[in-house]
Structure 1
Amino acid sequence: MTNWHERWTSQQTGWHRAVYNDLLLKHWPSVGAAASSNVLVPLCGKSLDMDWFAQKGHTVTGLELVSRPVEDFFEERGLVPEKEEFANLVRYSASPFVLIQGDLFNVQPAQVQADAWYDRAAMVALPSSMREAYVGQLRALTRAGAVGLLITFSYPPHELEGPPFSLPDEEVEALFSEHFELECLERITLEDERGRGLSSSHSAVYKLIRR
């Protein structure tokens, strides 16, 4: 937890992008989210992708551990959110955005029931030991029939000490197959990651439907 606070404070946020994610733009139409869905974005940071969902007519619920990016998100958009503290969480809201700051595992189903979800950088931020609990929490915070888009990153795990942690296809299938329908929409070989010292790396895009 301290590590993520330090990264945001020191602006070591290589995962943050100043443009919309191209794989989101390409594949979200295939997900089939209904108009005006509430889209859940776990470990959202201050992602511009949340603006894209809002422009498409969706409401957005973001979950973020660190307060700095949450406050920056609203300030950079000229929004003054209502702020409510409960348990170990802080809820910031300014339509169409609700961002909940704190440990995502403390969020209760009574607080969030999303129609759709989007994960570009959440699962790869978590070590394997936490991923089963993450998938369980994702299921708890979404409605039956909720649709999702998952973007992964995988590499030989001995070549890089994460985060991001490698998330191979077989782990995705093992974690999601019991409670979600799973379809791989695209697999990509990433040539631009060799600068990290990786001999190979791949990204995969999945469409998921919660059973």
Structure 2
Amino acid sequence: MDPQFWHQCWQTSRIGFHQNGINTHLRGCWHHIGAQPGTQVLVPLCGKSRDMHWLAEQGHSVTGFELSQLAIGDFFEEARLSPVRDTEGPFVRWQQGAFSLYEGDFFQAGALGRQFELAYDRAALIALPPAMRPEYAGLLAKLVKAGGRMLLVTVNHDSAQDQSPPFAVNEREVRTLFDPYFEVVLLERTEEGSNNRRVAAGECSFFDELCFVLTRRSY
């Protein structure tokens, strides 16, 4: 899970984690966040996710963090936007319209001294191996304001070949990681069954998607 792994994924187009459409949990559950138009949304490990366009259409500005310059370039090119680039802290910031995407290591985001009322994670936590997840949860606790909310989507499966993303992160682990900082509520559990390619291929016997709303505790 070193940076070169992700750079190679983008350079060789091994981006099966990228969804061409808008995530169904985002569409169906975002209203639980109680978000006001105009509020900034933090999107860690954002890639070139089209979910960011949907968030912008709801009236939000989007602050994304992404390691790959190629992914950020693709995002703006596909949107036919011409971003301005400058440096901010340890990052290169690409900015145009509602989008500010920071190129660099998300784990250095605390250096910017920013906090957010809203956050959205569809493919960040499940991209991290177990050893990195506690640090990720702790960083989000610093970046999300007290009372702020986050929509989190994870997957759960029983694949014995869980050596690359998306990693299984079940409800118990989500609660273990985030309960010290956030109130955790499970909103949806979707059982994909044989419709999932990994189940159809016999890699696992089930594949579920879970959607949570996390509210930052005030202590």
Deviations 1:62-95 (A, max 9, x none): 0111110101111222222121124532111112
- Secondary structure of 2:81's partner? coil
Equivalent residue, structure 2, for 1:131: 133
Separation in 2, partners of 1:146, 1:110: 18
Contact 2:88 2:112 in 1 (8 A): no
The answer to whether the 8 A contact 1:157-1:165 is kept is no
Identify the residue that residue 162 of structure 2 maps to in structure 1: 160
Q: What are the within-5 Å matches in structure 2 for residues 30-41 of structure 1?
A: 30-41=32-43
The structural deviation recorded for 1:13 is 0.7
Which one of 189, 206, 210 corresponds to residue 200 of structure 1? Answer: 206
CA RMSD of aligned residues (A): 1.4
CA distance in 2: counterparts of 1:143 and 1:77, whole angstroms:
30
**SS in structure 1 of the partner of residue 35 of structure 2:** coil
Instruction: Report what 1:105 is aligned to.
Output: 107
User: How many Å apart are 1:195 and its aligned residue?
Assistant: 2.9
The answer to whether residue 17 in structure 2 is matched with residue 25 in structure 1 is no
Alpha-carbon offset, residue 133 of structure 1: 0.5
* Higher alpha-carbon deviation: 132-141 or 50-59: 132-141
Q: Unpaired segments of 5 or more residues in structure 1?
A: none
Deviations 1:105-160 (CA, angstroms, capped at 9, x unpaired): 11126443211011111000001100010011112122111111111101125243
Q: Distance in 2 between matches of 1:157 and 1:62?
A: 30
Q: Where does structure 2 lack aligned partners over 5 or more consecutive residues?
A: none
1:73 alignment counterpart: 75
After TM superposition, the score normalised by the length of structure 1 is 0.95
1:162-211 CA distances to partner (integer Å, 9 max, x unpaired)?
21111011100001111101110011212123134111221111011111
Residue type at the aligned position of 2:102? I
Question: Equivalents in 1 of 2:162, 2:45: separation in Å?
Answer: 21
In 1, are the aligned partners of 2:33 and 2:149 still within 8 Å (CA)?
Answer: yes
In 2, Cα distance between equivalents of 1:86 and 1:185: 36
Q: Is the 8 A contact 1:160 1:198 kept in 2?
A: no
SS in structure 1 of the partner of residue 160 of structure 2: helix
Partner of 2:11: 9
What is the aligned residue count?
211
Distance 1:20 1:123 in 2: 18
SS of the residue 1:146 aligns to: strand
User: What is the CA distance between 1:35 and its match in structure 2?
Assistant: 2.2
In structure 2, how many angstroms separate the alpha carbons of the residues matched to 1:7 and 1:16? 11
